[in-house]
Amino acid sequence: VPPHKERYADACAYLAREISKSDVAVRLNTEATADLVLAEKPDAVILATGSLPLQPSIPGLDAAGIINADEIQEGSRQAGDHVAVIGGGSVGAETAHYLADQRKRVLHLIEMRDGIGIDLPKDARICLLRAFDTTPDLHIHTGARVTEVGDTFIRFEQGEQEECIDGLDSIV
């Protein structure tokens, strides 16, 4: 869903077509019990269960109506015009990029580490940072630790300073 990732959907569709042409048995929505796996006599078992988003313990986070990045990217929830994204790793940075492409009026990206998208592959990070350079309404806060969240605000510490962003429509 993030901008410039359309080719990943093409790759997934290609892999699905290729597996359907093969002799590989695919079973979906099936509980992989020990008995079922042993009955198949596999050479190897690969466990790929996915992941759940990390939700840090920040005062007010549970009550603030936070929108999960997955909800934004899946289209199940929409963000308002004044948005803050907590977390500038790959998921947060790409979600901010997606929101910027939707022309949000004010967009804040808050990251604890000293850089944005540090966990992205180098080429993807370079492209992302170039896109951010041309996004005038994006405010990037690095080295910032969120200390409190409310329905319309985020407080964070950046260096020795305490900052507050208020008037937010959405927090992701």
Q: What is the mean pLDDT of residues 72-93?
A: 93
Q: Which amino acid appears at position 44 of this protein?
A: A
Contacting residues for 91 by C-beta, under 8 A, at least 6 apart? 53, 69
Share of the chain above pLDDT 90, in %: 63
Element (H, E) at 108: strand 106-110
Residue 65 has pLDDT above 90, yes or no: no
Mean pLDDT of the chain: 90
Confidence tier at 62 by pLDDT (50, 70, 90): confident
- Closest by CA to 79, choosing from 104, 111, 110, is 104
Residue 61 has pLDDT above 90, yes or no: no
Contact between residue 135 and residue 85 where contact means Cβ atoms under 8 Å apart: no
pLDDT of residue 165: 96
Burial pattern 102-128, b for ≥16 Cβ within 10 A else e, equals eebebbbbbbbeeebbeebeeebbebb
Confidence tier at 49 by pLDDT (50, 70, 90): confident
Confidence tier at 128 by pLDDT (50, 70, 90): very high
pLDDT of residue 52: 77
pLDDT of residue 12: 87
pLDDT of residue 47: 80
Element (H, E) at 83: strand 82-86
Q: What is the mean pLDDT of residues 141-145?
A: 97
- Cα separation of 122 and 117, whole Å? 9
**CA-based end-to-end distance of the chain:** 16
- Closest by CA to 171, choosing from 150, 147, 157, is 150
